[in-house]
Amino acid sequence: MYKGMYIAATGAVQRSNEMDNVANNLANVNTTGFKRNMLSAASYQVLEGVQQAPPAIYPNARAMTSAGKFAVDSTPGAFQTTGNPLDFALSADSFFVVEKNGQQFYTRNGAFVLNRDGFLSTPDGYRVLDRGNQPIVIDNTEGVISVSSDGNMYLLNVQQKSNTLIAEMNVAKLANIQHAGGSLFTGTAEESAGYEVYQGVLERSNVNPVNELVNMIAAIRQYEMSHKVIQNFSDLAQRAVVDIGKPGA
């Protein structure tokens, strides 16, 4: 009896994790460069306290569900034209490299600003790095900032008829991508080739709110079903205790 209760309980925990994940996706539907998180379930069989991975089949085994793993949906979001020369977007599978307090992160949120010291940064203070992993500094704003498709940043001064290369943006390709909060990511960086940088453009979140709401409704219904199964097993257990205590049982 209790085996069935445990199976239902693991299912309820999985549904609860799914609801938390969907809630986080919906909270970031308007976060520039955000990538939705996906949660996978892992099923296994337990026999005499030993986990047996499928496809092994045992007649007395009970199926259990673990929380599984999170995975990042790297599908590009829609592009939005802003016209701001410090807004940037990237072609698929590429990330800007940023740094704060000596730790590197990766992002597709190219809504950059110039701080008071001339560092090209995110609004949260993460400095954008060049190909030498040094912060990009623009200390002379007497001109127009222009970025080529390969990430070379120029300062165009019409009066002086000059076009000066001031930085080369560091763009990386990531493996084993993991969320690090908001539109920041960690992972194994690889050199990115064939990418394109778009100026005056931002990438929107790839979260589809309608799909997420459908996922939330499904998770809630499945959670309620698991909870009902647990309650039924609990009622049966209480009834069994009462019956055992009856005379002649």
Q: Over the stretch 183-203, which tens digit does the pLDDT of each residue have?
A: 999 999 988 888 999 999 999
Query: Does 88 lie in the same domain as 136?
Result: yes
Number of domains in the chain: 2
Q: Residue 39: what pLDDT?
A: 84
Q: Residue 201: what pLDDT?
A: 98
Alpha carbon distances (Å) from 145 to 116, 128, 166, 200: 17, 15, 9, 11
In terms of Cα–Cα distance, which of 79, 121, 73, 81 is closest to 97?
Answer: 121
- What is the domain range of residue 6? 2-73+207-244
In terms of Cα–Cα distance, which of 19, 10, 66, 61 is closest to 42?
Answer: 66
Q: What is the average pLDDT across 148-168?
A: 86
Under 8 Å between Cβ of 138 and 167: yes
Q: Which residues, at least 6 apart from 228, have a Cβ–Cβ distance to it below 8 Å?
A: none
Residue 53 has phi, psi (to 5 degrees) of: -75, 140
- Average pLDDT of the chain is 83
Query: Does 146 lie in the same domain as 57?
Result: no
DSSP state of 247: T
For residue range 49-66, list pLDDT tens digits in order: 555 555 444 444 455 555
Q: Residue written as tokens 């623009």?
A: 138
User: Is position 149 within any domain?
Assistant: yes
User: Is position 188 within any domain?
Assistant: yes
Query: Does 114 lie in the same domain as 186?
Result: yes
User: Is position 249 within any domain?
Assistant: no
Query: Does 116 lie in the same domain as 178?
Result: yes
DSSP state of 149: T
Residue 232 has phi, psi (to 5 degrees) of: -65, -45
Q: Give the separation between CA 115 and CA 112, rounded to whole angstroms.
A: 10
Q: Residue 7: what pLDDT?
A: 64
Query: Does 159 lie in the same domain as 132?
Result: yes
Query: Does 84 lie in the same domain as 32?
Result: no
Q: Residue 242: what pLDDT?
A: 60
Q: What is the average pLDDT across 144-173?
A: 89
Q: Is 11 helix (H, G, I), strand (E, B) or coil?
A: helix
Higher pLDDT, 153 or 232: 153
Q: Give the separation between CA 216 and CA 222, rounded to whole angstroms.
A: 10
Query: Does 174 lie in the same domain as 93?
Result: yes
Q: How far is CA 39 from the centre of its chain?
A: 10
User: Is position 49 within any domain?
Assistant: yes
Per the rule left: phi > 0, alpha: psi between -120 and 50, beta: everything else, 54 is beta
Examine the pLDDT at 237 and tell me if it is beyond 70.
no
Query: Does 226 lie in the same domain as 192?
Result: no
Last residue of one domain, picked from the residues 187, 203, 219: 203
Query: Does 128 lie in the same domain as 100?
Result: yes
User: Is position 6 within any domain?
Assistant: yes
User: Is position 109 within any domain?
Assistant: yes
What percent of the chain lies above the pLDDT cut of 90? 55
Q: Give the separation between CA 126 and CA 40, rounded to whole angstroms.
A: 31
Q: What is the average pLDDT across 39-43?
A: 66
Q: Give the separation between CA 121 and CA 127, rounded to whole angstroms.
A: 4
Q: Which helix (H) or strand (E) holds 236?
A: helix 209-244
Q: What is the average pLDDT across 78-101?
A: 95
Higher pLDDT, 4 or 136: 136
Examine the pLDDT at 42 and tell me if it is beyond 60.
no
Query: Does 184 lie in the same domain as 102?
Result: yes
Q: Residue 68: what pLDDT?
A: 63
Q: Residue 178: what pLDDT?
A: 94
User: Is position 40 within any domain?
Assistant: yes
- Report the chain's terminal Cα–Cα distance, integer Å: 19
**Strand 127-128 relative to strand 79-81, pairing:** unpaired
User: Is position 57 within any domain?
Assistant: yes
Query: Does 85 lie in the same domain as 193?
Result: yes
Alpha carbon distances (Å) from 99 to 67, 74, 117, 247: 32, 21, 16, 74
Query: Does 30 lie in the same domain as 113?
Result: no
Q: Which residues, at least 6 apart from 242, have a Cβ–Cβ distance to it below 8 Å?
A: none
Q: Which of 7-16, 96-105, 161-170, 211-220 is modeled with the greatest confidence? A: 96-105
